[in-house]
């Protein structure tokens, strides 16, 4: 039997642990609220800068190619700043997930439909085949996802890959059934996003904000009980791999 002193120590340890968890959750919530306020306040001047750059691009003389190029560059920097803020909000959001049964391919199709433009190059491969390449078509089924969080995650990753490909290279999105493993890992749905941007040496070479984007994606996918990985190869480009269940 445990002595009274041992029981008391265990109770104190449990209380301390609970207090630490509560403090961590409170700190994360406060940090996210601060970042939300910061993002809101920063996006107002960023929007004004973007509008000014757009206007300058319209009124500058056609012969002044250098000035027009600087105006276009300014707009791209504003877009990048907004994207970094979005990735920061994604990473810091520690609110509980609200998962529901979702057809992943329908969600991706809806996201892609809102992004189609003259400079968008997306390739969809909804094969419904297992990732081992058996060639047997099968239904992917539904996965439990927080739609709002997963939509933003996919949008941010698409922005990352499009920037890596300099918008000229197609971003490929592939889904497949992920079979269970002998070690007991349950079956799921594979989501793979890639761009053949050769010459990149590592994830760090993807540019400003990329680490924040990838860390946020990993955090959200793992919170859903899934797996996330990123590989960068100088010969093959960038490949993002997610398994969702």
Bigger pLDDT: 157 vs 35: 157
Residue 52: pLDDT band with limits 50, 70, 90: confident
Q: Is it the case that residue 120 has pLDDT exceeding 70?
A: no
- DSSP for 39-81 reads HHHHHHHHHHHHHHHHHHHHHS-TT-HHHHHHHHHHHHHHHHH
Bigger pLDDT: 101 vs 187: 101
Bigger pLDDT: 175 vs 61: 175
pLDDT attached to residue 239: 95
CA distance 206 to 226: 24
Q: Give Cα 171 distance to the centre of its chain.
A: 14
CA distance 115 to 154: 12
Q: Are 177 and 137 in contact (CB under 8 A)?
A: no
pLDDT attached to residue 184: 64
The owner of tokens 């060639």 is: 135
Tokens describing residue 184? 């007991």
Task: Supply the mean pLDDT for the chain.
Answer: 82
Q: Cα dist. 155→43, 87, 91, 116, 230 in Å?
A: 18, 10, 14, 13, 16
Specify which of 52-61, 133-142, 225-234 reaches the highest per-range mean pLDDT: 225-234
Q: What does DSSP say about strands 122-130 and 171-178: parallel, antiparallel, or unpaired?
A: parallel
Averaged pLDDT for residues 37-63: 81
Q: Give Cα 15 distance to the centre of its chain.
A: 36
Encode pLDDT of 127-184 as tens digits: 654 444 444 445 678 899 999 999 999 999 999 998 888 867 889 999 998 887 777 6
Averaged pLDDT for residues 100-118: 87
pLDDT attached to residue 10: 62
Q: Are 209 and 164 in contact (CB under 8 A)?
A: no
């Amino acid at each position: 039997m445990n002595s009274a002193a041992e029981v008391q120590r265990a109770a104190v340890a449990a209380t301390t642990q609970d207090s630490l968890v509560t403090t961590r959750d409170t700190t994360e919530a406060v940090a996210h609220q601060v970042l939300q306020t910061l993002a809101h306040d920063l996006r107002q001047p960023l929007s004004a800068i973007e509008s000014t750059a757009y206007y300058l691009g319209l009124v500058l003389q056609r012969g002044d190619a250098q000035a027009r190029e600087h105006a276009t560059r300014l707009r791209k920097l504003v877009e990048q700043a907004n994207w970094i803020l979005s990735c920061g909000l994604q990473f810091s959001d520690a609110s509980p997930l609200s998962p529901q049964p979702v057809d992943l391919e329908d969600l991706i199709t809806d996201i892609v439909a809102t992004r189609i433009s003259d400079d968008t190059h997306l390739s969809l491969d909804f094969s419904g085949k297992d990732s081992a390449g058996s060639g047997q078509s099968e239904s992917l089924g539904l996965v439990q996802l927080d739609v709002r969080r997963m939509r933003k995650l996919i949008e941010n990753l698409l922005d990352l890959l499009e920037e890596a490909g300099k918008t000229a290279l197609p971003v490929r999105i592939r889904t497949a059934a992920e079979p269970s493993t002998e070690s007991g890992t349950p079956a799921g749905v594979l989501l793979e996003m890639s761009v053949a941007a050769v010459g990149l040496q590592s994830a760090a070479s993807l540019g400003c904000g990329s680490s924040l984007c990838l860390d946020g994606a990993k955090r959200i996918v793992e919170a859903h009980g899934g797996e996330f990985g990123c590989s960068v190869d100088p010969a093959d480009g960038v490949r993002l791999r997610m398994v969702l269940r």
